[in-house]
Amino acid sequence: MPDIHRLFAFILFCTLVFASSPRAQGSGFSTLTADNISYNADTGELSAVGQVVVLFEKTRLEADSLIYNRFTGKISASGPIRITDGSGAVFTATTATLSPDLSSGIIRGARLLLANRFQIAAAEIRRVSDRFNIFYRTVGSVCSVNINRPVPLWQIRSERIIQDTREKRLYFENASFEVMGVPVAFLPRLRMVDPSVKRATGLLAPLIISSEIFGYGLKLPYYVTFGDNADATITPFATTSGGFLIEGEYRRRFVNGSIDINGAFALTDPGGNAGDGFLKADISKFFRNRSELYLQLEVASDDAFMRRYGYNDADRLVSQAGSRRFERRNFFEVDAIYFQSLRDDEIDAEVPFVLPNIDFRRSWEEPVTGGRVGLNFSSVGLFRQVGRDVFRVSTSLDWRKDWAAPLGLRATTFAAIQGDAYRVWNDIGFSNDILFRLTPTIGGDLSLPLSKTTRSGALLVLSPVAQFIYTPSIAFNDTVPNEDSLQVEFDETNLFGLNRFPGEDRIETGFRANIGVNYRRYDPSGWTLGVNVGQVFRITPSTQFSVGSGLSTTSSDLLAAVSFELPPRYRVISRLLLGPNADIRRAESEISLNFEKLELDAAYVFLAADVVADSPVDRSEGVITANYIFSDNWESNLELRRDLLGNQNIYGEIGVTYNSECIEVAVSLSRRFTTSNNVPPDTKIDVSVKLAGFGAGSTSRTGSAPCMQEQ
C-alpha cells in the first residue's frame, strides 16, 4: 500500500477511535499500521489486514487481521496475536475481542509470558478494567518444553487464575501442583507474587535438615518487606526431638549507614533450656565529618546453643561499640569490647571487659628535615569479675625521613619514644602503685632495588634490605603486666617491624639487624614469581621471646616465603620458618586453582610445639574445598578439614546441586567430628528445593533480594 494511503488510514482510524471511546478522549494516544486498511461507512467497520500493529499508551497489539466496529466500540483480532502491556507481560493468542483502548476484552487460545520467564497457557483470558487478567482452565510453569521433554518438570494446573497487574499478584483457584505430570498436592487457594517483582512479602523455599543431635528439622522462612530499603525474615524451625525455634533477621540500608540484626530463640529445646538463643547485630552510621558510630554485637545465652543447631562454630564471641573518625592526617577511635568465651577450658568471669579502648594518631611534616612526625595516644582498661584488672595509658612520638643515597641506594632513618603508665588491681604480683615505662627507639634501613629486563621481556626485580634498630632496656622501668602480647608470630609481614609483639604491653628491646631479600619476576605471559628470605640477628640472645617463636637466639630462624600467580587460574603461596639444623618451626601453604568447571582451594599448616604460646605439642592441619560443574545443570562441592598429626578428621561436607531454568535442588551431607561445649560429633543432611520464576525470577541461593538505599 502506498505511504499516502497508509497515512490516510492511520488518521482515519485515530479519528474514529477518539470519537467513539470516552476513555480515549484526551487521555491517550493511539496508532494503527497495516499492509491494507479499509473502511465501510454503512457498517461502521474499519478493517486492517497484514502485519497489523496497534499502539495505545503502553500497550501494543500485533495481529494478522483486525476489525474495528465504530458502533459497538469493539476490536476483533485474529492471529497469531501478540499483546504486550505496560508491565512487560506478553500475551499470545489465536483470536481476541477487545475494547478500543485494549484494556478489557476476551482472548482465546491464549498464552501469557510474565517477566520473560513464567508461562501461563489458558483456554480463555478476560481482561477487566486494565487491571485484572482472568485465566480459565490454565497450566503454568517456567520449565521449558521440547520434543525430548514434552511434559514440564513441574507445573501448576488451575481452574482459574486472577492476575492483579496493579498489586503484582497471582491468585490460583482449585490448583494442583504436578511433578513430571503427576499431581503431588492439591491447593484450593494459592497466592503468588508476580515474577516481575524483585522483593515481596511471602513464604520462601523451605529447608529440610537432618541431625544426630536434634533429629529431623524443617525451616519455613517468611519474608517481609518494609519499603525499598528494609526487610525481615521470620523462620519457624521445628525438630522431631521436640525443639521449636524462631529465627529472625532484619536488614535496613541508608545512604549513610546500615542495620543488620539476626538471631534465634528456642521456645523448647531438649538439648538445653527453653529461652536459650543468640543475637547478632551490626549497626553503623556515617557522618559528613568522616566519622562513624558502630555497634557489633554477638551474644549467646548458652555455650553450646549455636554449635548445637549449626549457627556458628566460633569458640569466642566479640561485641564492640564505639566511634571512629578518619581524616587525612588524623585518626581517632574510642570503643568498648566484650568477649564471651564458648570454650570448655575458659571461665567467662576471668575473661576481661575492655573499657575504654582509645586510639589516636596525628601526623604532619616537620619543616627542619622534611621528615614526617607522628603523635600517638592510646589507653585501655581491662576489668574482670574474677582476677586482675589493668588500666594503661600510652603516648608516643615518632619521626621518619626517607633519603635518596648515591648509587641507587635508598635510606630511611627513624626514631621514636614511648611512655606508658599502668595501674593494676587484684594481683599480688604487682603493687597498687602506678607503674611507669619509657622506651626510646632509633634506627634506619638501607635498600638497593635492582631491576633487569630479559630478552623474553620478563622484568626481574631484586631488592636487598638491611634494617638496624636499637631499643634500650632502661633500668628504672617498672615491670608491667602482659595482657595483649602473649603469642608472637614471626613472618614476612613483621620481618622489618620495629616491634614484633602484637600488642602494647611488650616492646622488643636490644640491638637487632633485620636482613632480607625480595625477588620478583614479572613474566610477559602473565605469571609472577615472588621469593622473600629474611633473618634477624642480635648481639646477645633475647629473653623476651620463647624458643618456639624462633626469635630468642642471636640469629633467628630463617624466614622464607614463595608465591606464584598466573591470574585467573593459578595461585600458590608457601611460607617456611626454619630453625637450627633446618628444623621446620612453622610451615604454611595455600593453593588455588580456578578452571572453567573446577574451583579448588587447599591449605596446609604445621606449627611446632611452643609451651609459652599454650601449644605443648606439634600441630598440623589440612583443609581442601572444591566445586566441580559436571554439566549445565549439575555441580558438586566438597570440603574436608583434617588433623594430620592426630590422624583424624575435623569436619567434612559434600553436596550436590541440580539447577535448571525452572528448579534448584540442593542436597548436602556434613559431619563435625570433634566434641566441644558438651556438643557431641554430629552428622547433618540439608535438603532445599526452590522453584524458579517467582521472587525476582531467579534461582539465587540467597533468601532475598538486596535492599535499596533510602534517600
Mean pLDDT of the chain: 87
pLDDT digit string, tens, across residues 587-641:
999 999 999 999 999 999 999 888 877 778 899 999 999 999 999 889 999 999 9
Instruction: Find, among 562, 570, 585, 494, the residue nearest to 525 by Cα.
Output: 570
In a domain, 136, yes or no: yes
pLDDT tens digits for 26-62?
Answer: 334 478 888 998 888 888 888 999 999 988 877 888 9
Integer angstrom CA distances of residue 534 from 242, 406, 421, 467: 59, 25, 35, 11
State the pLDDT at residue 114. Answer: 81
Looking at residue 75, its amino acid is I
What pLDDT is stored for residue 119 in this prediction? 86
In a domain? residue 19: yes
60 within domain boundaries: yes
Could you tell me which of 81, 74, 124, 121 has the C-alpha nearest to residue 102?
A: 74
Rounded to whole angstroms, the Cα distance separating 384 from 426 reads: 10
Greater model confidence, 193 or 93: 93
pLDDT at 4 over 70: no
Distance CA 641, CA 670 (A): 11
Distance CA 446, CA 466 (A): 5
102 or 91, greater pLDDT = 91
11 part of a folded domain: yes
Q: How confident is the model at residue 683 (pLDDT cuts 50, 70, 90)?
A: very high
Q: ∠514-516-521 over CA atoms, to 5°?
A: 160
Please state the φ and ψ torsions of residue 548, each to the nearest 5 degrees: -70, -20
Task: Return the amino acid letter for 318.
Answer: V
- Dihedral sign computed on CA atoms, order 661, 163, 696, 55: positive
Q: Is residue 17 part of a domain?
A: yes
SS3 category, 574: strand
Percent of the chain residues topping a pLDDT of 90: 56
What CA–CA distance (Å, rounded) separates 514 from 534?
7
Determine the pLDDT at residue 699: 43
The CATH number of whichever domain residue 12 belongs to comes to 2.60.450.10
Specify whether the CB–CB gap between 316 and 676 falls below 8 A. no
Q: Would you state the pLDDT for residue 83?
A: 87
Structurally, how many domains does the chain consist of?
1
Q: Which pTM was predicted?
A: 0.78
Judged against a pLDDT cut of 80, whether residue 195 lies above it is answered with: no
**Highest mean pLDDT: which range of 17-21, 108-112, 468-472:** 468-472
pLDDT tens digits for range 133-185: 899 999 988 887 777 778 888 889 999 999 888 888 889 999 998 888 899 88
Q: What is the pLDDT of residue 548?
A: 85
Checking if the pLDDT of 23 tops 50, the result is: no
Q: 406 by DSSP, 3-state: which?
A: helix
Q: Evaluate whether residue 144 is within a structural domain.
A: yes
Give helix then strand counts, H and E, for the chain. Answer: 2, 41
pLDDT of res. 22: 42
Reference 584, options 603, 606, 614; nearest CA is 606
Mean pLDDT of 662-668: 91
pLDDT of residue 537: 97
Question: Please, what is the Cα angle at 572 between 566 and 574, to 5 degrees?
Answer: 145
pLDDT of residue 677: 67
Q: Between these two residues, 703 and 518, which has the higher pLDDT value?
A: 518
Cell of 343: 570454650
Q: pLDDT (tens digit, 9 = 90+) per residue, 349-397?
A: 899 999 999 999 999 999 888 999 999 999 999 999 999 999 999 999 9
State the residue range of the domain holding 14: 3-193
Residue 128 lies in a domain: yes
In a domain, 206, yes or no: no
528, 547 Cβ separation under 8 angstroms: no
Grid cell at residue 693: 520464576
